[in-house]
Amino acid sequence: MAQEIERKFLVTSEDWRAQVRTSARYRQGYLANEGRCSVRVRVSGSDAYLNIKSATLDIVRTEYEYSIPLADAEEMLEHLCSGLLVEKTRHFVDYGGFVWEIDVFEGVNQGLVIAEIELDHEHAEFPRPPWAGAEVSDDPRYYNVYLARTPYTRW
């Protein structure tokens, strides 16, 4: 079974920007987001993915991801997604031997910046960067599936 072990933190400063290794822009939408899982389509450049993730509020979740044709993904984003599209730029930052993903949201979620770290196991220890503020791993408002229904600018 595929698992994602991820912790999320609000970003408190711009200090991480000097450490960005690479960045990618994402557009994503949800084909289904009720019940036991969410089904998401995501486009980044010329790459496209279909993602199925368990709808549990926990740092450990079941997740499957598959490459799909870009044209199919674009059509799904335009015609099949419920809610709003989530648009963001993800910046990859190396810190303390880990890769941090800093999501800078755009559009209706503009102003929100979240740092995420994926871990090998639930109780893994990691150094916390000075720009990683309050942990929001257990707050459903900071999950992308929630942001597609209730954007940050409307909170």
Distance CA 86, CA 109 (A): 7
Question: Which residue in 26, 30, 95, 142 is the catalytic one?
Answer: 30
pLDDT tens readout for residues 92-116: 999 999 999 999 999 999 999 999 9
What's the number of CA atoms in the CB half-sphere (13 Å) around residue 37?
A: 13
Q: Is there a catalytic annotation at residue 30?
A: yes
The pLDDT of residue 52: 95
Confidence of residue 1 (pLDDT cuts 50, 70, 90): low
Give the predicted TM-score (pTM) of the model: 0.94
Mean pLDDT of the chain: 95
Residue 139 pLDDT exceeds 60: yes
Residue identified by tokens 């209730």 is 150
Please report the domains of the chain, with CATH numbers, ordered by start residue.
3-154 (2.40.320.10)
pLDDT tens readout for residues 19-64: 999 999 999 999 998 788 999 999 999 999 999 999 877 789 999 9
Alpha carbon 90 to its chain's center: 8
φ/ψ region of 128 (left if φ > 0, alpha if ψ in -120 to 50, else beta) reads: beta
Give yes or no for a contact between 111 and 104, defined as CB atoms under 8 angstroms apart. Answer: no
pLDDT tens readout for residues 112-129: 999 999 999 999 999 999
Cα of first residue to Cα of last residue in the chain, in angstroms, is: 35
